[in-house]
């Protein structure tokens, strides 16, 4: 069996406020394998956003080890981490986070600039991705000229353009009306069906059911890790399932004083 795509080993995120030590993440261990579609669910303040930040290398854990494709990356420098994010991780944010006054095409090719891809290649690949998300005729439009759903599709194209190993989507439908939200959901499902590893972070339990595996987070800990009907149906990826399942934390409840942190939403 190949190494997991992403592995968190006993990861904690600790904030010190005065004399108090507060755990936003408490000794979390988890493995995510290639082709999976994992939903991280939890209410506001549960620590799911912190989980996302740490797992997607946007933030450093205070304790513990993170491995990407079997390689430990916890001690990487900031520049090395940035390059790793650039190559291996795609982001879809709730707020879209597109550059204003910048065309869809230029927004999508932005990560490729940091990869060092030639201009010709950047444009070719970005156009390709925009066509894939159905915006082939909106290359020149700026975010202000696009609807919310279209903006999020630009963001998905941007997340895909570097062909990353894993896509993190943080409440991708949170800022959209239900119709646009549905479109984005379908697009994410299609992505996973075509083989991309997807991690969806949401507070919405019903939205989480589109995933194949649902990990519930509360008080900075993983409280459950189950397959959905889609996961159970996918015997190809989940044939070794019980081995991947996150075991109950060996730490007891009293171990971590939990900090309620401001969430993105």
Q: What are phi and psi of 11, to 5 degrees?
A: -90, 130
Least distance (Å) between residue 241 CB and another protein: 32
> Is residue 69 a contact residue for another protein (CB under 8 A)?
no
Least distance (Å) between residue 78 CB and another protein: 6
Torsion of CA 242, 246, 251, 257, to 10 degrees: -160
> Is residue 91 a contact residue for another protein (CB under 8 A)?
yes
Q: What are phi and psi of 53, to 5 degrees?
A: -65, -40
Q: What residues does 167 pair with on adjacent strands?
A: 90, 198
Among 43, 58, 177, 233, which residue sits at the site for another protein (rule: CB under 8 A)? 58
Sketch the per residue contact string, 101 through 120, with another protein: x for CB under 8 A, - otherwise: xx---x---xx-xxxx--x-
H or E, element range at 234: none
Asked if 11 and 47 touch (Cβ cutoff 8 Å), the reply is no
> Is residue 79 a contact residue for another protein (CB under 8 A)?
yes
The alpha-carbon radius of gyration of the chain (Å, integer) is 18
> Is residue 82 a contact residue for another protein (CB under 8 A)?
yes
Among 78, 229, 236, 242, which residue sits at the site for another protein (rule: CB under 8 A)? 78
Sketch the per residue contact string, 150 through 169, with another protein: x for CB under 8 A, - otherwise: --------x---x-------
51 to 10, 57, 91: CA distances (angstroms): 12, 10, 14
Cβ distance to another protein smaller for residue 127 or 158: 158
> Is residue 99 a contact residue for another protein (CB under 8 A)?
yes
Query: What is the Cα–Cα distance from 80 to 73, expressed in whole angstroms?
Result: 9
Least distance (Å) between residue 247 CB and another protein: 28
Quick count: other Cβ atoms within 10 Å of Cβ 171? Answer: 23
Least distance (Å) between residue 115 CB and another protein: 7
> Is residue 139 a contact residue for another protein (CB under 8 A)?
no
Among 31, 67, 69, 87, which residue sits at the site for another protein (rule: CB under 8 A)? 87
> Is residue 44 a contact residue for another protein (CB under 8 A)?
no
Query: What is the Cα–Cα distance from 92 to 182, expressed in whole angstroms?
Result: 15
- Total number of residues that touch another protein (CB under 8 A): 28
Q: How many residues does the chain have?
A: 265
C-alpha 87, offset from chain centre: 14
Contacts with another protein by CB under 8 A lie at: 53, 58-60, 78-79, 82-83, 85-87, 91, 93, 97, 99, 101-102, 106, 110-111, 113-116, 119, 158, 162, 264
């Amino acid at each position: 069996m190949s190494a997991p795509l992403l592995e968190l080993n006993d990861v904690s995120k600790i904030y010190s406020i005065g004399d108090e030590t507060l755990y936003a993440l408490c000794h979390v261990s988890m493995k995510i394998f290639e082709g999976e579609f994992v939903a991280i669910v939890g209410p506001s303040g549960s620590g799911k956003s912190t989980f996302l930040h740490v797992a997607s290398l946007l933030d450093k854990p205070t304790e513990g080890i993170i491995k990407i494709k079997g390689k430990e990356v916890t001690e990487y420098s900031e520049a090395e981490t940035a390059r790793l994010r650039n190559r291996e991780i795609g982001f879809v944010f709730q707020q879209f986070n597109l550059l204003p006054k910048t065309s869809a095409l230029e927004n999508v090719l932005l990560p490729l600039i940091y990869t060092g891809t030639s201009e010709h290649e950047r444009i070719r690949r970005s156009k390709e991705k925009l066509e894939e998300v159905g915006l082939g005729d909106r290359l020149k439009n700026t975010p202000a000229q696009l609807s919310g759903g279209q903006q999020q599709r630009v963001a998905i194209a941007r997340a895909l353009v570097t062909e990353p190993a894993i896509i993190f989507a943080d409440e991708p439908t949170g800022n959209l009306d239900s119709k646009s939200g549905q479109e984005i959901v379908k697009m994410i499902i299609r992505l996973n069906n075509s083989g991309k590893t997807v991690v969806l972070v949401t507070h919405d339990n019903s939205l989480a059911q589109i995933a194949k595996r649902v990990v519930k987070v509360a008080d900075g800990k993983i409280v459950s890790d189950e397959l959905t009907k889609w996961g159970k149906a996918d015997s190809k990826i989940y044939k070794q399932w019980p081995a991947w399942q996150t075991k109950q934390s060996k730490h007891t409840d009293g171990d971590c004083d939990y900090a309620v942190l401001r969430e993105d939403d």
